[in-house]
Amino acid sequence: MKWVTRERPKVDRVACPWLIVRFVDPEAEFLFVQKDRVMEVAAREGATPFDVPGVELGHHGEECSFDAVVRKYGLGKDPALARLARIVRGADTDMEDPPPESAGLEAIADGFRRIVLDDRELLRREFPVYDALYARCRAAVRGEE
C-alpha cells in the first residue's frame, strides 16, 4: 500500500511510517511531496494521506497523527504503544506536561533532519530509534524499568 505525506519528515512523519511498517503494512511505500501536492498525489497514486490538515490520519484536537493511526488500526490495546504515543504526542504537539523522553525525541528528529537530506533514508536511519524506544516502553509496562 502507498502512503503520502509532506516532505522533510520530523517527529510524527517518522513515527507514523515506523508504526505502519511495524504494525499495519510491512510492505508500505512512502511518498514525500510538497505540502500543497499531498492530496493530488494521494488521488493519483491511490495513496493514503497522513499528517496533513483535514485527513483522517492527521492531528485531531490534542492528538497527533500517530494517535490517529493507532486508533484507526486498532492498536490501542498495546500498553507499550499507548506509552509511545504519549511520547510522540509530547514531542510533536504543545502537550502540557509531556513525558521527559519527548524532548529527547524532538532533538533527535531535528538532528537527523540536519544530517540526512533524503526522506526515505531518514526513515531508514531513524526507525531503530523508534524500535529502541518501543522496547523501552514495553519494559516499562512490564515493570522492568
The contacts of residue 69 (CB under 8 Å, 6+ apart) are 16, 19, 20, 24, 50, 57, 75
Nine-digit cell at 125? 536511519
Q: How many domains does the chain fold into?
A: 1
Predicted confidence (pLDDT) per residue in 7-59, tens digit = 999 999 999 999 999 999 999 999 999 999 999 999 999 999 999 999 999 99
Q: Phi-psi region for residue 98, left (φ > 0), alpha (ψ -120 to 50) or beta?
A: beta
**Of the candidates 69, 63, 53, 57, which has an alpha carbon nearest to the alpha carbon of residue 19?**
69
pTM flag (> 0.85): yes
Average pLDDT, the chain: 96
- Statement: residue 145 has pLDDT above 80: no
Task: State the residue range of the domain holding 37.
Answer: 2-141
Q: What is the C-alpha separation between 4 and 31, in angstroms, rounded?
A: 5
- Statement: residue 144 has pLDDT above 90: no
